Amino acid sequence: MRSLDLDRVCEYVNSNIVYFHQRRIASLERLTLDRLLKKNPYLFKAKHITTAGELIEGLLEAFLSSSEEKFFGDFLESLAVFVAEQTCGGHKSVAQGVDLEFINAGTHYVVSIKSGPNWGNSSQHKKLAQDLRDAVIRVKLSRTTLNVQPVLGICYGKTRTSYMKAGYLKVVGQNFWYLISENEDLYTDIIEPIGYRAKEHNEVFYVERARVVNRFTGQFIERFCDRSGAIDWVRLVAFNSGNYDLDRFLLDPPPAAAER
């Protein structure tokens, strides 16, 4: 494995972290109040939210938290692929569910990358295992002389490296970054460039965020507050979840159900 040029890593991060910030702002610009109100209204009632502004702030924070995790996960995945390209000629995989492939010391690695340890449900985990198995079969058919190792690589966390029952190697945090670089310090070396111009980017983001909060608060008051100014929770829940049509199915069951 070739030695990693950290200056090139910094250049890549500085050039590409901007897209993460641009996607954050774009997600705000595309957001509508109706979409925001798809979040769980019962949770916010249980938290004793009483003002429209407070509710919009809470809903927006929940929305941004989930979308930012996705955006930043995409950035970390691209960074990992870039590192592997520099150290061992790795490349982004075209196989379903696989993000990276590289060869090191006679082993062909097929890697699915996740940004953090808390990802997916049981069915998604099973799907990942199957995708990795399929990738291994494909590689073995084309490269019969190589050992093939499927890997779940997770960009942060302290979980110990382990072989999973599904047949893949789970590599987390420092160990993952070492796997693709053979540099024990890479996981800390990348933290400084990730913050490149972060203050400037966040100032722009929070200006747009404030506009969204003000605009949605006004729209919410108009649509979901009563004449006294209180939140009309019944109207809000009806908007979020009102869809009654079950009577048609109970009174007129499908033929197969009627025969039983």
Strands 169-172 and 162-163: antiparallel
Domain that holds residue 42: 6-247
pLDDT of residue 211: 95
Domain count, the chain: 1
In a domain, 111, yes or no: yes
pLDDT in tens, 207-227: 999 999 999 999 999 999 999
Name the token pair of 180.
Answer: 């693709």
Q: What is the mean pLDDT of residues 108-122?
A: 92
pLDDT of residue 99: 95
In a domain, 65, yes or no: yes
User: Which residue has better confidence, 67 or 56?
Assistant: 56
Is residue 180's pLDDT more than 70?
Answer: yes
The average confidence (pLDDT) of the chain is 92
Residues 6+ apart with CB under 8 A from 157: 116, 117, 172, 173
In a domain, 260, yes or no: no
Name the token pair of 61.
Answer: 């924070």
Please give the angle made by the CA atoms of 18, 22 and 23, to the nearest 5 degrees. 120
pLDDT of residue 248: 84
Residues 6+ apart with CB under 8 A from 169: 149, 150, 151, 152, 161, 162, 163
In a domain, 156, yes or no: yes
In a domain, 257, yes or no: no
First to last CA, the chain: 66
In a domain, 211, yes or no: yes
Please give the angle made by the CA atoms of 166, 66 and 212, to the nearest 5 degrees. 170
Q: How far is Cα 40 from Cα 203, in angstroms, rounded to an integer?
A: 29
pLDDT of residue 119: 87
In a domain, 185, yes or no: yes
Q: What is the mean pLDDT of residues 120-125?
A: 91
